[in-house]
Structure 1
Amino acid sequence: MRNLGVYIEINGEQTLVGNITGEAYTDATFKYDSEFMNASYGAPISISLPFQEESFTAENTRTFFESLLPEGFSRRAVADWIKTDEKDYLSILAGLGRECLGAIKIAEGGVLSDAHYEKLTKAQVKSLAAEGATRSTQILMETHLSLTGASGKVGLYYDPKGKWYLPKGDAPSTHIVKQSHVRLDRIVLNEQLCMLTAKNIGIDVPESFIVNVGGGEDSDVLYATKRYDRDLNGVKEIDGLLVPLRLHQEDFAQAMGIAAEDKYEKQPIGYMKKMFDLIKKHSSNPIEDQSKLLERIIFNFLIGNTDCHLKNYALLYSPDLKSVRLSPAYDIVSTRVYNSIPEMSFYIGGELDINNINRDSFIKSAEDVGLSNRVVETTFDRLSDRFEKSLKEAAESLTNSGFVAAKKLKNDILKTGGYSHLK
């Protein structure tokens, strides 16, 4: 019988939430700790896992906790290294669960107290950029980091002096660092250009920057995002570095109880409506967060991001878990510049193909999501009117920083994104 303790950080303190138990990953079930449920600080760790005395089903357990794990190549590589089936999320979670997205920690045999930061040399950072997903997956294993998503990424600590550190043991990271993709040219520049454009247009995004350890080629650059689920207002120090507080978050798939493999809407079953219903029912400021959610969906269409699935939208909890808001936007990439499939990740006004989606499609979706036509029209027009100028300013900023390919990338976005057929 396996027993994995599930912990969460509340106001800087690790607290036992419950346990995942079972003979194998196929029958493992999660159950809340009764003391946690009855405590004044207790709160459900997911909207899809409300407090109950009984254990959750194996399916409900897998749906939430498997979404904490990396996907794709990284997951396969980790499974190979620990000699387990790729489907065995329980064993992978036991190996990687110390540092997840959000504030959850998974530990088999109790929480370990060891924590320190290992300073990285410039050469080590350069090797991380050059070696791609294989190196990042090795770091995941070495540091027990579980960072969801399919691309090669690691969690690192970045101090105000510009130095990078590798978190070890229970030490939290401050930034998520991604590598270039062997099949997608200029993916780092692409994401930074999209994020800067989103910021220029008024969308809430975390601070991000390109780490250039060479001549600016794909093998020389990393994409670094400041973690919005970390708060540097902590008071503890490790190795002379201020330790950030972990903030709990869950992506929309987790909150809705939808498995990671179903993050794309393949048939019209109302994902967009479900997203807005989630905000209406659970956000501490549903009016503002509905407006922000609409802006992000429209922006992803304009910039040609067809990979804006349910796991790329999230809820961020307060340090005491008592309130929840829409998180800042993340993982915005113009996938259409790579001739990706034209299908969006969910239906908009009954349409899935980005080439068939336009202003009228969003207005048609208004009734489905519970917004007025006027609100949707006004929001769409405001973003589309500002889009080209915001993109141009972002490209100029990156060009002035030495990334001259930003201009071509800007032109490619204008030719391939949803904005291209609004004219």
Structure 2
Amino acid sequence: MNTLLNNNLLKVFINDKDKNEPVFVGVLKKDHYLHVYEYNTDITDNKYAISIRMPITQKIYTQDKQLLPYFDMFIPEGYLYEIFKSILVKNYNLSPYINDFYILKMLAKNITGRVEFDKDKKPVKYFDPVDLDYIKTYDTFDTFKYLLENFLEKNAISGVQPKTVITVEDDSNGKHEAIDGKNTIHLTDYIVKTWGNEYPYLAENEYFCMQTVKDAGIPIPEIELSKNKKFLIVKKFTDKYTGFEEVLGIFGYTRENKYKGSYERIAKLFQNILGNNTDEFKIFYKLIILNYLLGNGDAHLKNFGVLYDYDLTNIRLAPAYDIVSTIAYIKNDQPALTLEGRKVWDNYDALINFGIKYCNLSKKESLELYEECKNSVNNTIKKLLVYIKDNEHFEEIGNRMIDFWSRQIQSQKPTISLYNIDPKL
């Protein structure tokens, strides 16, 4: 980090899978309070666009004071943001009003994915991999503190809860390739999430919410609760050739606007970039329903995303992530975004209309998918009741979740019988 303030420039690269090498595509600059992104003039093929929102052009992209939305996606929030802010104030005598460019610069060389930074500068910091089984077993505050300190500069991740990226040795393929007489170590990144006093037992809360989503047929990352339930361990779902973007950035917003807008607007965006992909829209529709049934007041614009191949093809929904029952902690919480102009949990008719009008579904399909989601919630309620008996520490939070979920699946009932619908509708 000694060169952090030496220049206000980051080179941007795309990992080209066909060439098996990074391609220099542009430069991000900070000019006083203006942030500028300019494509390399040799780049003309739009497969090297860094973002869905930022096609190749000889014009420059600019944003005053804040980072451009695509780059803002890499800036941590909450707990992690305050750590980076403290480092910049303490070690570099910067103002408490930190420009996020410097946080991005601290993280940039260790960001791995389709888009990477300063690939022509070496060495990139090497992070000693940790033993995943040890972390699952010894899930203490001291363990989390150790992980955070050792992997701090890998934490280009969003979300306000305490978390850290870690690197583990991955021999899941059952073999290591030999190169120059040495073993190649296969590494995989995971996210370790924990919780603070204001949101007790959040790892268990998220685990059961995510299992409900999975039970409804929605893809999720690999997740696992640690032995003492202090950590939720999530396998990262991107690699060096897979692009990921949050809906927030595609809309051209930065993180302070993540609660701005509606679920209808997300659906319209997906209509534009996913086309008429019925399977993807069924998944998206079920995800919206479950956020309502589970009482997730944090289903904002940063918590929906898309994946695509290195060349900006095969755009599809990202796996569901960061789903929790916030209502278990915030009694009067409400949905993060509007649906038919309102933020209310009891919104059955609006949800059915949403499926028909915005997700390319028939009325019959909308009702059937809604019932699937209700059944998944009901299945999880049964599992939670058993779990609470064996894990008394989770009784209060678990019962709050069960109470709300039960009310949701009982109160939001179809006004039209599934058996009286014209199949053509």
Q: Give the structure-2-normalised TM-score.
A: 0.79
| Corresponding residue SS for 1:117 | coil
Checking the alignment, whether the CA contact within 8 Å between 2:47 and 2:310 is kept in structure 1 is no
Q: State how far apart, in whole Å, the 2-side matches of 1:340 and 1:131 are.
A: 31
- What residue ranges of structure 1 are gaps of 5+ in the alignment? 163-170, 231-244
Distance 1:339 1:109, change over 3 A: same
Distance 1:103 1:176, change over 3 A: farther
Corresponding residue for 1:190?
Answer: 205
Which of 386, 400, 415 is residue 412 of structure 1 equivalent to? 400
- What residue ranges of structure 2 are gaps of 5+ in the alignment? 1-6, 173-185, 414-425
What is the CA-CA distance between 1:124 and the residue it aligns to? 7.7
For 1:300-315, what aligned pairs fall within 5 Å after superposition?
300-315=291-306
Q: Deviations over 1:80-114 (max 9, x none)?
A: 11223454111000001234474332339835455
Q: State how far apart, in whole Å, the 2-side matches of 1:78 and 1:275 are.
A: 31
What is the CA-CA distance between 1:256 and the residue it aligns to? 1.6
| Corresponding residue SS for 2:269 | helix
Corresponding residue for 2:30?
Answer: 22
Q: State how far apart, in whole Å, the 1-side matches of 2:395 and 2:105 are.
A: 45
For 1:309-388, what aligned pairs fall within 5 Å after superposition?
309-354=300-345, 357-366=346-355, 369=358, 371-372=360-361, 374=363, 375-388=365-378
The answer to whether structure 1 residue 49 and structure 2 residue 54 are counterparts is yes
Which 10-residue stretch deviates more, 311-320 or 380-389? 380-389
RMSD of aligned Cα (Å): 3.2
Distance 1:275 1:308, change over 3 A: same
Structure 2: which amino acid aligns with 1:338? Y
What is the CA-CA distance between 1:409 and the residue it aligns to? 4.5
Corresponding residue for 1:6?
Answer: 12
What is the CA-CA distance between 1:155 and the residue it aligns to? 1.4
Q: Give the structure-1-normalised TM-score.
A: 0.79
Checking the alignment, whether the CA contact within 8 Å between 2:11 and 2:28 is kept in structure 1 is yes
Corresponding residue for 1:152?
Answer: 162
Q: Paired residues, what number?
A: 383
TM superposition outliers: structure 1 runs of 4+ over 6 Å: 121-128
More strand by share: 1
Distance 1:99 1:86, change over 3 A: farther
What is the CA-CA distance between 1:408 and the residue it aligns to? 5.7
What is the CA-CA distance between 1:327 and the residue it aligns to? 0.7
Corresponding residue for 2:180?
Answer: none
Structure 2: which amino acid aligns with 1:31? E
What is the CA-CA distance between 1:139 and the residue it aligns to? 3.9
Q: State how far apart, in whole Å, the 1-side matches of 2:334 and 2:113 are.
A: 30
For 1:224-243, what aligned pairs fall within 5 Å after superposition?
224-230=233-239
What is the CA-CA distance between 1:410 and the residue it aligns to? 4.4
Distance 1:392 1:97, change over 3 A: farther
What is the CA-CA distance between 1:316 and the residue it aligns to? 0.8
| Corresponding residue SS for 1:57 | strand
Q: Deviations over 1:157-204 (max 9, x none)?
A: 334579xxxxxxxx9642111122221111011111111121122221
| Corresponding residue SS for 2:200 | coil
Q: State how far apart, in whole Å, the 2-side matches of 1:127 and 1:14 are.
A: 38
Q: State how far apart, in whole Å, the 2-side matches of 1:104 and 1:114 are.
A: 17
Q: In percent, how many aligned pairs have the same letter?
A: 20
Distance 1:20 1:334, change over 3 A: same
Checking the alignment, whether the CA contact within 8 Å between 2:130 and 2:168 is kept in structure 1 is no
Which of 255, 261, 269 is residue 260 of structure 1 equivalent to? 255
Checking the alignment, whether the CA contact within 8 Å between 2:248 and 2:302 is kept in structure 1 is yes
For 1:201-240, what aligned pairs fall within 5 Å after superposition?
201-212=216-227, 216=228, 221-230=230-239
| Corresponding residue SS for 1:248 | strand
What is the CA-CA distance between 1:331 and the residue it aligns to? 0.5
Q: State how far apart, in whole Å, the 1-side matches of 2:393 and 2:235 are.
A: 24
Structure whose alpha-carbon radius of gyration is higher:
2
Corresponding residue for 2:63?
Answer: 58
Distance 1:144 1:371, change over 3 A: closer
Corresponding residue for 2:193?
Answer: 178
Q: Deviations over 1:245-296 (max 9, x none)?
A: 452101110122122111103xxx5x22221122222127632211111110
What is the CA-CA distance between 1:395 and the residue it aligns to? 6.1
Corresponding residue for 1:237?
Answer: none
Q: State how far apart, in whole Å, the 2-side matches of 1:121 and 1:100 are.
A: 21
Checking the alignment, whether the CA contact within 8 Å between 1:140 and 1:146 is kept in structure 2 is no
